[in-house]
Structure 1
Amino acid sequence: MEGHVFPNPVDTESYMVMLCYKNGSLAREDIRNHYAEKSWDVFNKYLQQTPPLNGGRLGFYYKDFEILPPLPVGFHRYILENFSGDSLDGIKEQEVQEFDPPSEVRAIVEGQLLSKRAHAERFGMPSPPKRIIATGGASANNSILSLIASIFGCDVYTVQQPDSASLGAALRAAHGWLCNKKGSFVPISSMYMNKMDKTSLNCKLAATAGDQKLVAKYATLMKKRIEIENRLVEKLGRL
């Protein structure tokens, strides 16, 4: 396992796990440029018209050296023959050079999310989690949000302020100012308790939890992905 566990600086009974990935939005943008006419509209259309599980197509897209898993630049594509999602028994994998454009789009999004689910579960995330709060630029993409709900099996929320890093920095600054004004430590929750709906912290439901049978099938696909990922790490590692 590779990741970070941080104690909460303002709540002694809480902690945060952070998993770092380098190939995120820029890797998706690269696939968009090569296979979706450089258009997010086409990218989303392909994502919507391809079936869940992508016909057993698994893609590993590393435009830059990846952090988790620790792998060098490279692109690896596999087709799982006769994969239905119910079992891995009798499944044969075939490595290929390329998928058709719609399958490439679904492969990168499904692959990134399956990787996140697998590594988060290794760190103790329950399956399904209680909820997911999506932030950042991709949180404005409803097609990706729906796929998150399908793979993780929980409701997905977004916040009014998608740039969560700047929001967090502002909250910490405000909390420090408040503690200084009071002359003692005060819980950070006092800043927004009972008035969450009036702040940028307010969350809105963006996608409802996916069908649990499909979630279970994604779990089967996830196991195969991690199996292949482990082989790639053993073979290639980080050069």
Structure 2
Amino acid sequence: MEDCSLPQDSLFLGFDCSTQSLKATVLDAYLNIIISELVNYDSELPHYNTKGGVFRDQIVNGRIVSPTLMWVEALDLILHRLEMSNLNFGKIAAVSGSAQQHGSVYWKNGSFEILSSLDPKKPLVDQFLDAFSIEKSPIWMDCSTTEQCKAIEIAVGGGLELAKLTGSRAHERYVGPQIRKIFETRPEIYQNTERVSLVSSFMASLLIGGYACIDQTDGAGMNLMDIEHRTWSKIALEATAPGLEEKLGKLAPAYAVAGSIASYYVERYHFNKKCVVVQWSGDNPNSLAGEFLVFSSFS
């Protein structure tokens, strides 16, 4: 049987992709913090012109978004800083992360080819300039989908029925109503979208060089998942937009491995090709999990 134990000097890299910043923390096998870096979007990526990491639409009431490409460039910058701090990427055994919940990313048709064939000689941001069908991602602060929330609840038989099915009534910030709004108001954009990611699965996708699954805990906050069976709800999907299940991909348990680190990072930063990327999740479920995190869990 193959020995699955890790070297004692193994390191573990965790990210926190929040509304205002991207943070990276490197731990050793004893949960000691080895390195920590942070990129503030407003001050360190000022060309995106965000305030608090977001845009507040002055025309569409309640529309609040963040530039999708900003998160990509933040990953470039923070990896460069880790490199400059003399981090030995080759010792990193696993990578995972937490991300703001309810934000969504819309990959343009053909973007998988970009994602799966990254050039290690170029920064990520230069390679994703034309990868997104919507350049600014709706986030958790957005409250512009009231009409879509009402329509979804009516379609499934009322707010109580939706809550029984998905765990909650329709909420403006949830991704289901956001997708319905895009389908209704910008159908050509919806048709030109091959994959919809949450911010968590988006960041994991960047790391594995392919589309990462949405994890079940983050997926539970979309008004789309059957909360009892942990699968996409056919009823909720049909109430939201046609052909949506294919665009969402499969769900995965939060503890699952999303994939191995992409060759881009092996060649550019000298990660070990055996380094795994564990499913990212949302900040709220990760915070809850952290409440129960003790060293004995790892011994």
Give the alignment's TM-score, normalised by structure 2. 0.25
Structure (1 or 2) with the greater strand fraction: 2
Give the alignment's TM-score, normalised by structure 1. 0.29
